Amino acid sequence: MAIPLTVIGGFLGAGKTTLVNHLMRTGTRRYGVLVNDFGAINIDAELIASQDGVSIALTNGCVCCSLGDDFAAALDALASRTPAPEHLIVEASGVADPWRIAQLALIEPGFELEPLVVMVDAAAVLGQLADRWVAATIECQLAFAELVVLNKSDLAADLPAVGAAIASRRPEARQLTTTHATISETALRFPPPARPRASRLAADAPPAHGFTTTLWRCPGPLDPVRLRTVLERLPRSVLRVKGFFQISADRPPTLLQYAAERWAFTPHAACEDLAFVIIGTPEMPSAAALAEMFAAAVY
């Protein structure tokens, strides 16, 4: 029997990882999840049964694995676990085209592609669709969406306008409005609209986007007040900051999530590295300039 597979896409900071966390905590199925970044998966310590460098097994039967470079091999490895997952979820990166991943899932034997889910930040998406650097990526992600989740709807200034903008670009897609990515697993399962024929050639094509990425390693504990000041002063060309820092050497790490000029600090049980991944448009300041800005938050 084919294993159901859901691809979750969406731009940086839309809430993809939050949705994955929610499904693993509250779902009734035994999920197998493929993610690009373990660091953002904030799993309650009491739910973790075991973990190693490539997977985290939960006490409820779910397992989270690293996506890696070979998608087909990662799918096969996850599906062959004992016990086998009842449903697979793939979280696409924030600048990826989720349809490319979905095509691979359609081609690989043994899997049944569920509706393609695309998350949007309802408070930011209208501005993103008007941004010359970001709009093309958002449009690409919406092009084959089958369920569009309007997340952070409580922060949207004009939610009807957001829905209309999505519908004008992808009228075939269902829309679901929520906050904090709290949607039922049953909402992910419905007969999808007619799909174009899958093409491995298109699926294997390299992604095209103009975003740049840099890494800043924390040289020591950071003052959260000064860090907030740094975040307030970041130019709009900085789209995403994600990573871990410590407030003091004797305290557990804190996860920083920054997107759409909003941020959150969340205590975290553990992390592999105290560093920030910074993603932005080609107009983003240089790595040296960003390092100087963040260094102002060091104690």
Q: What is the pLDDT of residues 153-189, one digit of tens each?
A: 999 999 999 999 999 999 999 999 999 999 999 999 9
Are 85 and 32 a contacting pair, CB within 8 Å? Answer: yes
Q: Flag whether pLDDT at 41 surpasses 70.
A: no
What percentage of the chain carries pLDDT values higher than 70? 91
Identify the CATH assignment for 212-295 out of 3.40.50.300, 3.40.640.10, 3.30.1220.10, 1.10.10.520: 3.30.1220.10
Of these ranges, 56-70, 150-164, 192-206, the one predicted with the greatest mean pLDDT is 150-164
Indicate if the pLDDT at residue 106 is higher than 90. no
* Domains of the chain, residue spans: 3-203, 212-295
Taking only the tens place, the pLDDT of each residue in 244-282 is 999 988 888 998 999 999 999 988 876 768 999 999 999
**pLDDT tens digits, one per residue of 42-56:** 566 666 777 776 788
Q: What is the pTM of this model?
A: 0.85
- Please give the Cα distance from 68 to 74 (Å, whole number): 7
Q: Does domain 3-203 have CATH number 3.40.50.300?
A: yes
What pLDDT score does 107 carry? 82
Q: Which residue has the tokens 């979820």?
A: 89
Distance separating alpha carbons of residues 173 and 142, to the nearest angstrom = 9
Please provide residue 34's backbone torsions phi and psi, each rounded to the nearest 5 degrees. Answer: -110, 125
